[in-house]
Amino acid sequence: MKVKEIMDMNFVVVSADQTIDDVSIRMEEKKRFTTPVVDDDEKLVGWITSLDVTRGFREHKKKVKDIMHSKSDIVTVHEDDPARLAVLEASKHKVVSIPVLNEVEVVVGVVRTFDIVETLSRLYEIKVYKIFKAMEQELRGVSWDELMEASAIVTRRRTGDRVTAEEYEQRIKNSTFGEAIWATGGLEKFFVGFIAIGELVIARKVARARK
Amino acid sequence: MKVKEIMDMNFVVVSADQTIDDVSIRMEEKKRFTTPVVDDDEKLVGWITSLDVTRGFREHKKKVKDIMHSKSDIVTVHEDDPARLAVLEASKHKVVSIPVLNEVEVVVGVVRTFDIVETLSRLYEIKVYKIFKAMEQELRGVSWDELMEASAIVTRRRTGDRVTAEEYEQRIKNSTFGEAIWATGGLEKFFVGFIAIGELVIARKVARARK
């Protein structure tokens, strides 16, 4: 996934000579806490946040250029960068949004942290059931019932939780990848549980084929 | 993971009778775009963002109570809620932060979207290598070399990419879960590739045991 697939294109863009009065109205209307400042060619020259605007009002500044951060002080990403770069930059610099540039440094979008959260949380919200369905498809010759039976056995062995195959199936229909990771104690543990289930069904399948 | 484990406790908190001048200074100093408004018992009564402050300045309002959103208009979470609830709420309502309450409705923190991004991205940044190491430990009787060999075979079959076991090992040492998901085209595909590798090594192990 690329930055351009997660960026906001309905962003506010302003010029250095605009008044902070005008700019504040546009930011409030569009509910944007940050906005890129561009020149006549739409190239990035600076960046302002609503906190720069409040300071500007308090200190009786008039124009965007009096309150803006210069381009060299801010984090940017390119539209074709991997989306995960924007994630890392936002996390590292603790910013609420990052301007996105194209190959000629024109501002084409803004990545906002809640766009990132939305993208990341979509991954988390995948049902565990779908992962098991993918597993069933991959493991030709292993039935769904065998998979649920093996899952219940592995769960009983590992947690002491006396779950049946039917209860296990119900559980994965309702739970998401995010819940499963938090419940098992992390990604590696989740994978290990999965591998244990895989090992059991595959060993049974191979044994059956050799009978 | 609970909300209290990812919330910001260094948040700004204000009262309805404070002047927006004072409040704007504190928000700028602490770089906070939002702040909870509380009563004398520190219970939540409202919420302001820096955009409410800019509007307040423009419209010559004086106090926080003149610009704040009432408690009923905002999203809140409780400190013992699962962290993923904060993730879902932030994503759904497209807010940059959410106040966190304890059992008596006192504000004990604020979850900011970049705190969420940081938490989520930590998961993404786990090296794929660590997942394979967990797999190796789980699959007793399968060596690391066998695992790499099977991985290279599965990759060659699926992608046509003529990777050797050594190259595969180097690749997973450098790549993260996030990159792998984006490279394979999603979580389910990543799992399916993993299961295919597991199937191959387990089938070989079982065959060996029966010789």
Edge-to-edge strands of the sheet including B44-49? B14-15, B34-38, B44-49, B69-70
A123 with B207: Cβ contact below 8 A: no
A50 with B55: Cβ contact below 8 A: no
Most confident of A90-94, B32-36, B86-90: B32-36
Instruction: Give buried/exposed letters for A51-68 (b at 16+ CB in 10 A, else e).
Output: bbbbbbbeeebebbbebb
Which candidate from B33, B95, B206 shows the least CB-CB separation from A206? B206
Query: H/E element holding A76?
Result: none
What is the reported pLDDT for A180? 81
Q: How many other C-beta atoms lie within 10 A of the C-beta of residue A169? A: 19
Edge-to-edge strands of the sheet including A97-101? A77-78, A97-101, A107-112
| Model pLDDT for residues A117-174, shown as the tens digit of each residue | 877 777 777 888 998 998 888 888 889 999 999 999 999 998 888 999 999 999 999 8
The lowest-confidence range among A197-206, B33-42, B43-52 is A197-206
Confidence of residue B59 (pLDDT cuts 50, 70, 90): very high
A33 with B196: Cβ contact below 8 A: no
Confidence of residue B60 (pLDDT cuts 50, 70, 90): very high
Query: What share of chain B has pLDDT > 90, as a percent?
Result: 52
Confidence of residue A61 (pLDDT cuts 50, 70, 90): very high
Q: Are strands A77-78 and A97-101 parallel, antiparallel or unpaired?
A: parallel
Confidence of residue B69 (pLDDT cuts 50, 70, 90): very high
What is the reported pLDDT for B84? 76
What is the reported pLDDT for A64? 97
User: Which chain B residue shows the shortest CA-CA distance from A95?
Assistant: B114
Query: What share of chain A has pLDDT > 90, as a percent?
Result: 52
B151 pLDDT above the threshold of 90: yes
B195 with A198: Cβ contact below 8 A: yes
Instruction: Name A65's Cβ contacts closer than 8 Å, sequence gap at least 6.
Output: A16, A17, A37, A46
What is the reported pLDDT for B79? 95
B202 with A207: Cβ contact below 8 A: no
- Tracing tokens 């790549």 back to the chain, one arrives at B175
pTM score above 0.80 = no
What mean pLDDT do residues A96-122 have? 87
Average of per-residue pLDDT values in chain B = 89
ipTM value for the complex: 0.74
Long-range CB contacts (within 8 A, 24+) of A110-113: A110/A7, A110/A8, A110/A11, A110/A32, A110/A34, A110/A35, A110/A36, A111/A3, A111/A6, A111/A7, A111/A8, A111/A77, A111/A86, A112/A8, A112/B113, A113/B96, A113/B112, A113/B113, A113/B114, A113/B116, A113/B117
- Secondary structure class of A202 (helix, strand, coil): helix
Q: A49 near B33, Cβ under 8 Å?
A: yes
What is the reported pLDDT for A91? 76
Confidence of residue B126 (pLDDT cuts 50, 70, 90): confident
B139 pLDDT above the threshold of 80: yes
CA distance B12 to chain A (A): 14
Most confident of A61-70, A75-84, A140-149, B156-165: A61-70
For residue A172 the two structure tokens come to 């994965």
For residue A151 the two structure tokens come to 């899952």
Residue type present at position B80: D
What is the reported pLDDT for A77? 94
A1 pLDDT above the threshold of 90: no
In three-state form (DSSP H/G/I as H, E/B as E, the rest C), the secondary structure along chain B is CEHHHHCECCCCCEECCCEHHHHHHHHHHHCCCEEEEECCCCEEEEEEEHHHHHHHHHCCCCEHHHCCEEHHHCCCEECCCEHHHHHHHHHHHCCCEEEEECCCCEEEEEEEHHHHHHHHHHHHCCEHHHHHHHHHHHCCCCCHHHHHHHHHHHHHHHHCCCCCHHHHHHHHHHCEHHHHHHHHCCHHHHHHHHHHHHHHHHHHHHHHHHC
From the list B124, B201, B195, the residue with the least C-alpha distance to B165 is: B201
Most confident of A56-65, A114-123, A129-138, A192-201: A56-65
Give me the DSSP letters along A97-154. EEEEE-TTSBEEEEEEHHHHHHHHHHHHTSBHHHHHHHHHHHSTT--HHHHHHHHHHH
| Chain B contact set for A87 (CB, 8 A) | 117, 120-121, 124, 178
For residue A24 the two structure tokens come to 């504040």
Q: Does A159 touch chain B (CB under 8 A)?
A: no
Confidence of residue B190 (pLDDT cuts 50, 70, 90): confident
Query: What share of chain A has pLDDT > 70, as a percent?
Result: 98
B68 pLDDT above the threshold of 90: yes
For residue A93 the two structure tokens come to 């610099």
